[in-house]
Copies of this chain bind each other. A is one copy, B any other.
Amino acid sequence: MHVLITGAAGFLGQRLIAALLDRGRLDGQALTRLTLIDPAAPALESLSNDAIDVECRDLDIAEPGALNASLGERPDVIFHLAAVVSAEAEADLDLGMTVNFDATRALLEGCRRYALSATRLVMTSSVAVYGGELPEVLDDMTALTPQSSYGTQKAMCELLISDYSRRGLIDGRVLRLPTIMIRPGRPNAAASSFASSILREPLGGETAICPVSTELEMFVMSPGKVVAALIHGAEVSGDDFGASRSVMLPGLTVSVAEMLEALRRHGGEQALARVEHHHNKDIETIVASWPARFRTDKAKRLGFAGDDDFREIVESHLRERAASM
């Protein structure tokens, strides 16, 4: 089983690699080869494994033909994670179109050229494909009306992957990811950053800022469940997807108040007191525009699993933190 990963050096890529090396198997077969593609590939070079041939390639997938040699080696499964993030794609339309859309199209064309019709291609999409005036509860038949160039580019890739799959040129699957929390690390410029921060920092003895009202709801999933979903995405039957190869993953709807209650439960009143409430209208507007309630029937039918409750999300973060110390 030869697995290729684009964007392998990223947040999800590194966790996916760790999970794959740990399992040593995919879809009932032994993992024998990993091809890791990322301009930041050197970050991966310390990886090594006795049973698995790991190769890192320092490639920009937006360069013409960049993937040809790798696709010519006929990988069995491709995890296509490389992307520029939302803020970057909004600031630079050409960059977003080139990396998020054209490079995905080139990957599909490469699969077509090398007749990789049985290769399973797992791509990550996002809730950013939704936007505008949405119903109270979204479902698998809710229209994609993205309000960002990033969401537009992801939605276009979704359509193309469904069409290439329908034509039998590739066996594609697209997973729409909820907001991932609790992310390790430090607060960053992402509008969602506060959500991880208001748990992570106080649990670690530091203060954090909550810029939104506590009634605000979000649709979230832990990093561990996202990685498990990526692996399940490569193992489930593509035919079972039906008319579209896209699926919204079964996140958890949780309000900021519930997040803070979980913080109190795990860290006590002193942890809760480390959260300062400084309202930021811009952040509230952006985050409130993201859909928070979904009926994810298709994901459940296909066997994708989310977190059972928010307590599980906090506990997995604490376990991970303890393990890394």
Contact = CB atoms under 8 A, between A and B. Distances in A.
7 contacts: A134-B141, A143-B144, A144-B144, A144-B159, A145-B244, A146-B163, A155-B159
B162 A243 contact: no
B146 A143 contact: no
Contacts of A147: 166, 243
Contacts of A156: 156, 159-160
A112 to B, nearest CB: 8
Q: DSSP class of A's interface residues: helix, strand, loop or mixed? A: loop
Nearest to A156: B156
Contacts of A145: 162, 243-244
Interface residues of A, number: 27
A167 B149 contact: yes
Interface of A: 93, 131-135, 140-147, 149, 152, 155-156, 159-160, 162-163, 166-167, 242-244
Contacts of A166: 147
A98 to B, nearest CB: 12
B93 A132 contact: no
Contacts of A162: 145-146, 152
Contacts of A242: 132-133
A141 B142 contact: yes
Each complex incorporates copies of this chain amounting to 2
A191 B200 CA distance: 59
Closest 7 CB pairs of A and B: A132-B243, A152-B163, A145-B243, A145-B244, A141-B143, A156-B156, A152-B159
Contact of A159 (B141, B142, B146): B146
A246 to B, nearest CB: 9
Contact of A93 (B93, B149, B167): B167
Given A152-B163, A163-B152, A140 B141 contact: no
A70 to B, nearest CB: 23
A127 to B, nearest CB: 14
Contacts of A135: 141
A160 B155 CA distance: 10
A257 to B, nearest CB: 28
A293 to B, nearest CB: 15
Contacts of A133: 242-243
Given A152-B163, A167-B149, A243-B131, A142 B144 contact: no
